[in-house]
Structure 1
């Protein structure tokens, strides 16, 4: 039988509890058990005035931002609407049914002001990592590093070719915020000072972003988010935003390793990365810090014409010379310098050469140097560290490390597909770092709750 028509009837009194209407297995309940925001008010106390109108609780703003990144809601206007309508969002943000939701402009005011001045988002991320360390999810022994390209909020139509771009012509007083940040990082190793090579195009709206292409794909303006993860449970122990250029990405690993040593007292036993991090200076830096480089060596010394390569020559460190397969030495210096100041420094690339008359009568000349009068070999400054990495590459542990390195790629896939961070909404280096830190904090929280499987 057809029932009566349902009509809304107002009541004078309601007994309603938001907590009763949020399922016990809801995602936000799991996150709420592990997120710790109790000290935010004390952390920001010095950045608020002691007079004037009471401010919106900063913990509420942070909780709303976490809801947005957890649910893939990138627009702050839409985030305010969703928090207003969704009971679970209200419960997580500690809002009652009658409590108003902050205006979307409040986020911009706080983000560009006291949040960045106090480095609140960095503090929140490091506090989340510290809790994972305390709970035994981070051993700090095997770390992996990699970078991923994230599209910037810029386009080619609003850009200038490198031959017409002059940063000295910019007036910093009237420039937008993103342009001022670009001028501030011109001497920063992660941005302007990463390379002397100027990008092909520079964006007017976000000049710090890098015009680049990945894997022969289309070029556009991007930033790089750099992750340093512990491979035990795929916990991100540090994150850094840089230009999308190899020098900046490699340099960010040094920054992150120094930072986790200072913040969490982590000294890894090994670092796992791809060949982009296998340059001599990087390997030398790791070996000097007693970190085993499980990294493919970036080596261009191999030959494709079938003749002997540098690997076929034995290095004699005691006599500072190479020995060819025929037993003849290749030396760097063949005379003693009476004045030590006249002796070459040996820094950079050292050249080793065999005697001309020895090579001319050698039976293996066609296998060694068929077109040269004598064989020459170059040795880089950090060749000892490169050899350490080559020796590690022959071990079974290295094979395991290469499998573990894929965990970083899985985190990047989660970042772009689940959290929706395929394109940045905020401009400038500070905006990029804000988004990278919030997204990394969300990923660490999901890993801590066990809802993200490594």
Structure 2
């Protein structure tokens, strides 16, 4: 039988907000596990201590933003509307049922003006990590890293091309260090000639690159299988023990994954004091320099390895040339020596160049099978990090290698999937690199808080 309810009387009830929030609600569990009082200490420098009007409690400001990332509410205007009617949100913020909710513009202006350029959200993210460490949720011995793209708040149709100076980065500075070290060793041993000043590495000329005038700090993502246009990249490192995100670094979308990796490893070791012994990462992070640098740090790297191999233009490949360690030379199939001639810098590698004598190649019956048409003699290039790469790839196929890569898929890719589905990581609403980093830090913080509650409840 159909029932109709008309003119329903609104009764008076004597209730408190404590009665309206279930005992097993997530926010109750979170509030009992996490002490948010550290926010006062971290925001103290942002406020005047003896002058000005009374402000909104900074803990409320941060919790206000966290609610949006914990429950996937993308708009700050929408967060305000949800807090007005949601008793659990009010309870978490410390509001009574009749308290006025701060206007969304107040939250926005504090975030944009008061906290801008202070690094506050990075410090808050770290404080949550330290609390996870105190509760035994972070081991720090094995760290897994991956990156994901986040759509910038800009249209790909409005790109323009500008002339921009190539920026130096620490990855290239590390290459410079290893090159200088190897050059000094070879020159001191008399194996190569000293480098002439006229042949010094020239500063790279400015190049034309596309930017988006709406958000010029975003990078143009152009990768197979990825959406094109202005994006940012969020590089996240996850501790293998319970999936706690221990580091977040944000770069423009056109930055190579390997660029910030070594800096982030050092940051986690020195600043967070994580005793990293094992690292797992996608193949994009497994460059020869990273293999060498992590080996020097005492860290064992596991990556899927490279796909494909070197394409040779001749019949004879590198494997046809036998290396003699005693004389540091290669022997070609015809029995002639290829002697170390120079040290050359490539874009991402440094190579020792072994070259045969032109006279030996000129009258060799296998010349057409060995030397390409653009060369007069055969050359063999050896990456100075080759041994470190070989040792890194030798672990491929082992049980530990398979386990680390499986865990990377579970924790790294699983974290990105959860953040994009439920924690606002799919796209950005604000512009600029700092705003993008703040957004990614809050998303990672929200996921860490959820995992903390799940592990400790």
Q: TM-score, normalised by structure 2?
A: 0.80
Rounded to whole Å, the distance in 1 between the matches of 2:64 and 2:252 is: 29
Q: Distance in 1 between matches of 2:378 and 2:391?
A: 25
1:23 aligned counterpart, secondary structure: coil
Closer, same or farther: CA 105–3 of 1 in aligned 2, 3 Å:
closer
Q: Could you tell me which residue of structure 2 aligns to residue 175 of structure 1?
A: none
Where 2:242 maps in the other structure, the secondary structure is coil
Q: Decide whether the 8 Å contact of 1:149 with 1:223 is kept in 2.
A: yes
Separation in 1 of the partners of 2:137 and 2:125?
15
Q: What corresponds to 1:25 in structure 2? A: 24
Q: Hey, what's the Cα distance between the residues in 2 that align with 1:328 and 1:108?
A: 72
Larger mean Cα displacement after TM superposition, 374-383 or 100-109: 374-383
Structure 1 position 227, deviation (Å): 0.4
State the partner residue of 1:294: 302
Q: Judging changes above 3 Å, is the alpha-carbon distance between structure 1 residues 209 and 29 closer, same or farther for their aligned structure 2 residues? A: same
Q: How far apart, in 1, do the equivalents of 2:339 and 2:170 lie?
A: 39
Deviation at 1:364, TM superposition (A): 8.6
Alignment of 1:103-114 (within 5 A): 103-114=103-114
Tell me the alpha carbon deviations over residues 347-388 of structure 1, each in whole angstroms, 9 at most, x when there is no partner: 632211346677789999898669787542101232232222
Partner of 2:56: 56
In terms of mean alpha carbon deviation, does 73-82 or 125-134 score higher? 125-134
Deviates more, 1:307-316 or 1:89-98: 307-316
Note closer, same or farther for the CA distance 1:433–1:313 as it changes in structure 2 (3 Å cut).
same
Please state whether the residue corresponding to 1:148 is helix, strand or coil.
strand
Structure 2 contact 234–248 (Cα < 8 Å) conserved: yes
Distance in 1, matches of 2:54 and 2:332, equals 79
Aligned to 2:250: 241
Cα distance, 1:66 vs structure 2: 1.0
Cross-structure match for 1:378: 381
**Structure 2 residue aligned with 1:121:** 121
- Whole-Å separation in 1 of the counterparts to 2:156 and 2:99: 44
Aligned residue in 2 for 1:159: 159
Cα RMSD over matched residues? 3.5
User: Does 2:205 match 1:220?
Assistant: no
Q: Are 1:122 and 1:437, in contact at CA under 8 Å, matched by a contact in 2?
A: yes
Aligned to 1:180: none
Q: Quick check: 1:159–1:204 contact (8 Å CA) kept in 2?
A: yes
What CA deviation, in whole Å up to 9, does each residue of 1:153-178 have, x standing for no partner? 01134432336xx79xxxxxxxxxxx
CA distance in 2, matches of 1:15, 1:66: 31
- Conserved? CA contact 2:141–2:277, under 8 Å: yes
Task: Report the CA distance shift for 1:154/1:330 in structure 2 as closer, same or farther (over 3 A).
Answer: same
- Matched with 2:186 is none
Alpha-carbon distance between aligned partners in 1 of 2:275 and 2:369, rounded to the nearest angstrom: 46
- Kept after mapping to 2: 8 A contact 1:199/1:210: no
User: Contact (CA 8 Å) 1:297, 1:386: kept in 2 or not?
Assistant: no
Q: What is residue 407 of structure 2 aligned with on the other side?
A: 404
Unaligned runs of 5+ in 2: 174-203
Asked if 2 retains the 8 angstrom alpha-carbon contact of 1:359 and 1:374, the reply is yes
1:264 to 268, 272, 275: 272
Cα deviations across residues 56-84 of structure 1 (Å, max 9, x unaligned)? 00100111111111111110011011001
Select which of 250, 257, 265 maps to 2:258: 250
Alignment of 1:50-449 (within 5 A): 50-162=50-162, 189=169, 200-247=209-256, 249-298=257-306, 302-303=310-311, 307-311=315-319, 313=321, 315-317=323-325, 319-322=327-330, 330-333=338-341, 344=342, 348-354=350-356, 375-406=378-409, 407-449=411-453
Structure 1 match to 2:38: 39
Contact 2:42 / 2:123 at 8 angstroms: preserved in 1? Answer: no
* Aligned residue pair count: 417
CA deviation after TM superposition for structure 1 residue 8, in Å? 3.5
User: How far 1:441 sits from its partner (Å)?
Assistant: 0.4
TM-score by length of 1: 0.80
1:36 deviates by 2.6
How many angstroms does 1:119 deviate by?
2.0
Task: Work out whether residues 76 and 108 of structure 2, in 8 Å CA contact, stay in contact via their aligned partners in 1.
Answer: no
